[in-house]
Amino acid sequence: MTPDMIIPLLAATVQSGTPILFATLGAIFCEKSGVLNLGVEGIMAVGALAGFSVSYATGNIWLGFLAGGLSGMVAGGIHGLVCLVFLGNQVVSGLALTILGVGVADYLGTPLIGLKAPGFVPTALPLLSDLPFLGPVFFRHDPLVYISYLVPVGMWLFFRNTRAGLRLRSVGENPDAAQAAGFSPTHYRWLGVLCGGFFMGLGGAYLSLAYTHMWANHLTAGRGWIAVALVIFAFWNPLRAVLGAYLFGGMMAFQFRLQASGTHIPSSFLLMLPYVLTLTVLVFSSWKGGSSATPQALGVNIEPAD
């Protein structure tokens, strides 16, 4: 592996990690409020379809990206309806949402297969892109990648330094105490579910608007599930999510480059690597005491007081 291979590898790492990063951040936001959401895969699929179809219909890629997020919000709203209004089981609702989302997206997206819609193209950031090493790795991507650099920091600050962020976290830890403190835990859980869905939808839209410029059945191809696992790896910390997403994206990019460089390692083994790695860090991080970072009321519905 020569230096001139490392820079493209790291640049590819950032790009293939970006959709997973958006989705992981969405899942963290949702779970911080105490609502477990296993429907990431389905919400991403809906976001990918909405993003592509709006970009195709209007010709405006930013509108498409926004539509991806908003449709993710709507899909997340279904989860909210089941878990927050009807107090349904969060695990079951999430799983159902995955099946529903992927199915609906495939069904509605059939006429769009094979069409070409405008999408995001790499735009080098002035000055920053001229930096040695860091420039080509981080600052010669499409605009959505740059947005993905800001979101984790913003989310981290939101959780740490804003009143709404603190309240959202407290609802995830102890909804009764939040109620006693005089604000509605359900409202903040809605905030978590809807905003979380928004970011998951953005992750899906990244796939159909920037990563590729097309719509295909099952475009998400399991990336939503990786996000679910990375939330635990990240200890529900938005900044650590960056690490997790790039680690997974990096392994994916790395194994392809190993194949292309003509190694004789069986491809089945190489394709397994990203998943093995995810599993390993998951086990490792749980063992290191990551469970103490779990929102204490995660997956527990707020029962009515009376």
List of residues contacting other proteins (CB under 8 A): 5, 8-9, 12, 16, 106, 110-114, 116, 121, 207, 211-214, 216-219, 221, 252-253, 256-257, 259-268, 271
Between 183 and 256, name the residue whose CB sits nearer to other proteins.
Answer: 256
* Closest distance to other proteins from the beta carbon of 259 (Å): 4
Between 159 and 211, name the residue whose CB sits nearer to other proteins.
Answer: 211
* Closest distance to other proteins from the beta carbon of 155 (Å): 25
* Closest distance to other proteins from the beta carbon of 233 (Å): 22
Between 214 and 242, name the residue whose CB sits nearer to other proteins.
Answer: 214
Which value, in Å, is the radius of gyration of the alpha carbons in the chain?
19
* Closest distance to other proteins from the beta carbon of 218 (Å): 8
* Closest distance to other proteins from the beta carbon of 265 (Å): 7
Between 107 and 284, name the residue whose CB sits nearer to other proteins.
Answer: 107
Between 1 and 92, name the residue whose CB sits nearer to other proteins.
Answer: 1
